[in-house]
Amino acid sequence: MGEIFILQDISKEAAALRTLLYALLLITAAIGGVLFVGFFLFTGSIERRLLQDNETLRQEKDAHAQTAWELEEHRHHLEELVAEKTSALEENNRVLQKEIIDRRGAEKRWERTFDAMGDIVTIHDAEMRIVRANRATKKILGIDWQELLGRHCYEVFRGENTPCAGCPEALAQHDFKLHTTEIEHPNLKKSFLVTAAPLIDEQGHFEGVIHVAKDITEQKLLAAQLRQAQKMEAVGTLAGGVAHDFNNLLTGILGYAELALMETPADSPLYRDLSEVLALGRRGASLIRQLLAFSRQQAMEAVDLDLNNLITNLMKLLHRLIPENIELEFAPGPDLWRLKADEGQLEQVVVNLAVNARDAMPEGGRLVIDTANVEPDGDGEKPLAALVRLRVSDTGTGMDEATREQIFEPFFTTKEVGKGTGLGLSLVYGIVKQHGGAIEIKSAPGRGTTFSLFFPAMQAGGDQGMDTAAPGHTPRGTGTILVVEDEERILELARRILEGLGYTVLGTADPREAEVIFARSGADIDLLLSDLVMPACNGRELYERLAAQKPGLKVLFMSGYADNILSHQELAEKNFPFLGKPFTASLLARALRNVLNPEKNN
C-alpha cells in the first residue's frame, strides 16, 4: 500500500485559526490580565484584610492583655477585699461570739439575780398571764414556776377568777405607770405588798408587767407592835404627867384623914366615915401605882428572891381568890435560878394573871402555874442570856387575834362594866418590862390561854437587898428636920405629922428660902425632907447644894413622880432614901426612923 497525499489549500483555515489563536491569546491575555489584576486586587484585599485582622488581633491582644492586667488587678483587689472581708468577718465572728458569751453570761447573771431576789417576782404578758417566775415564788407559794405558766396573778394570790378591785397590774396596763397595793393571801395567811411595773417596747406599746410581791407580814406585825408600844408609851407619859399632882392630892387626903381619924373615937360614926375616906384614898393610890407600873415609871425595890417561894407563899391567897370549880395547881421548877426583882410587883403579876384566868373560866376549869429555867444558847431558838420563866395557863374561853393585840392596852377589858378596870394586864406588862423581861401569849377561842413571862436570872453572889420595914406602931423620934415642899397643904400636913411625932420642924415651900434657913441653922438640922419636883430648883439640886455645906447631911426624898429628876436606877445606885407619895403618917414615921436611926429599924 502506498501513501496517498491529499493536498488541500488550508491557508484560509490557517489564517482563521491564527486569528482565532490570536483572539484566544488576546482573550487569554485579557483574562490573564484581568485575572492578574483581579488576583492583585484580591491579594491586596486579602492583605488589607489580613492587616486589618492582624491589627484587630493585635488590638484584641492588647485589649486581652489589658483585660488580663485589669483582671489581675481586680483579682488582687478582690483578694484584698476578700482578705479584708474575711478579717472583718472573723472579727465580727469573734465579736459575735463574745457577745453571745457575754449575753449568755448576762442571762445567767440575770437568772441568778432574778432567782436571788427574796421577794416573789413574776413576769406577765399583755394578757396578765405569768410567763416567768423566780425561785422565791416556789419557796413562798410552794408552787413550781412551770405550774404557774399561763395563770393569772389573781388566781395565784387570791384564788379568784377576776382581778381584784384596784389591781395594780390592771392599773399599770391602763396608764403605763407603776402601781403598788397591799393584799392578803387567804391560804398562806400572809400580807404582801404588790408592785406592778409596766413593760413598754420601743414603739410605746404595752408588752406586759413586772410583778413583785413582798412579804410584809413580819413588818406589819412589828408595825403593830410599835403602834402598841407607842400607845402604851403615850399612856405612860400621861400617867407620869398626872401622877405627881394626883399623888400630892392623895397625900393630903390620906394624911389629913388619918390625922382626923387619930383624934376620933372608934365608936363614932365619923370614925367609920374617915375610915372609908382612907380606904378610897388607898384605892386611888393603888390605881396611880398601877398606872406608873404599867408605864414602867414606878420606883422598883429590887431584892434577891426565889420565885418558887414567892408563889408558894401566895397560894393561900390564890386559893381564896379562885373558886372551887377551878382546879389550881402550882408546879415549881427544880433548882430555879434566883431573880433580882421587886417582890411586891411580882406578887401583883401572879395575882393579876390568876384573876384574869379565873374570869376566863366562869364554868370552871384548870389553872396551872409553873416555873422553869431557860438555858442560854444563842442559836436563834433560845435566848442569849439565862432566863427564868413564869407560866400561867388556863382552860378558859381563850382570845382571838384582835383581842390579843389589845389586852395590854390600859383600860381595855372584855368584862362587863363595873367588873374590871382594864389595868390588870397593863400592870403585868409594865412590871415585866420594868424588870427587863418579855411576855409571850398563846391563845385561841375555846382553847384557853397561856402567858409565858421571862425574867433575867440573877448572877451568883447577888445583892440580898434591904428588908422592908414591917408595918406596926408609928415610931416617934427627935431631931430637927428641914421640910421643903412646894405644895402648902402637904407642907403643913408634914409639919403637923412630924411635930406630933416629936420632931422639930423647919419648913418652907421655896427651895431658895430653904438655903437661907440652912445657912442660918444648918448645924442643928439632922435631915432634909424634900420633894423632888419643885419649881426653880428640884430636890436633888437642893440637896447637893446643902450637902456641899454640910457633908454627911441625911436626906429623905419624897415625890409622886420623880423619874425626870432622879431615875429609879440612880436611887438604888446612890442609896438615896425615897418615900413615894401618897404616904400616911406611919409610913413617914418609919421612913424617917430608917434614915435617922437605921440600927433601930426592924
**CATH number assigned to the domain comprising residue 233:** 1.10.287.130
Same domain for 326 and 425, yes or no, is yes
| Residues facing residue 181 across a β-bridge | 194
In a shared domain, residues 77 and 151: no
> What is the spatial distance between Cα 73 and Cα 434, in angstroms, rounded to a whole number?
101
Instruction: Judge if 239 and 345 occupy the same domain.
Output: no
pLDDT at position 110 is 77
Average pLDDT over residues 258-279: 88
8 Å CB contact between 329 and 305: no
Query: Are 137 and 239 members of one domain?
Result: no
Task: Give pLDDT, residue 469.
Answer: 37
pLDDT reading at 411 higher than 60: no
pLDDT digits (tens, 9 = 90+) for 449-475: 999 999 998 753 333 333 333 334 567
Q: How many domains does the chain have?
A: 5
pLDDT at 472: 43
Asked whether residue 32 is assigned to any structural domain, the reply reads no
Going by C-beta distance under 8 Å and a sequence separation of 6 or more, which residues neighbour residue 112?
none
Distance between CA 452 and CA 371 in Å, rounded? 9
441/89 Cα distance (integer angstroms): 73
Query: Would you place residue 540 in the very low, low, confident or very high pLDDT band (cuts 50, 70, 90)?
Result: confident
Domain C-terminal end among 294, 312, 331: 294
CATH code for the domain of 341: 3.30.565.10
One domain, residues 496 and 590? yes
Structural domain including 313 reads: 303-456
Distance CA 292, CA 342 (A): 14
Q: Is 463 inside a domain boundary?
A: no
78-96 pLDDT, tens digit each: 788 888 888 888 888 888 8
Is the pLDDT reported for residue 233 higher than 80?
Answer: no
Cα–Cα dist 499/175, whole Å: 84
Could you tell me if 196 and 172 are in contact, meaning their C-beta atoms sit under 8 angstroms apart? yes
Most confident of 69-78, 173-182, 417-426, 540-549: 540-549
* Residue 310 placed within a domain: yes
Strands 554-559 and 578-580: parallel
The answer to whether residue 565 scores a pLDDT higher than 70 is: no
The reply to whether 19 falls in a domain is no
pTM of the predicted protein model? 0.47
Percent of the chain at pLDDT > 70 equals 82
Has residue 64 got a pLDDT over 50?
yes
Taking only the tens place, the pLDDT of each residue in 481-535 is: 999 998 898 899 999 999 988 999 999 999 999 999 999 998 899 999 999 888 8
Q: Which three cell numbers stand for residue 554?
A: 441625911
In a domain, 451, yes or no: yes
pLDDT higher than 50, residue 380: no
One DSSP character per residue, 54-108 reads HHHHHHHHHHHHHHHHHHHHHHHHHHHHHHHHHHHHHHHHHHHHHHHHHHHHHHH
* CATH number of the domain that residue 536 is part of: 3.40.50.2300
What pLDDT shows up at residue 400? 81
Mean of pLDDT values over 144-153 = 79
Cα–Cα distances (Å) from 543 to 16, 334, 556, 564, 572, in that order, read 193, 47, 10, 16, 17
448 or 584, which is more confident: 448
Among 254-263, 329-338, 426-435, which range has the highest average pLDDT? 329-338
| Distance from C-alpha of 76 to C-alpha of 63, rounded to nearest angstrom | 19
Domain end marker among 108, 129, 147: 108
Per the CB < 8 A criterion, the answer to whether 325 and 364 are in contact is: yes
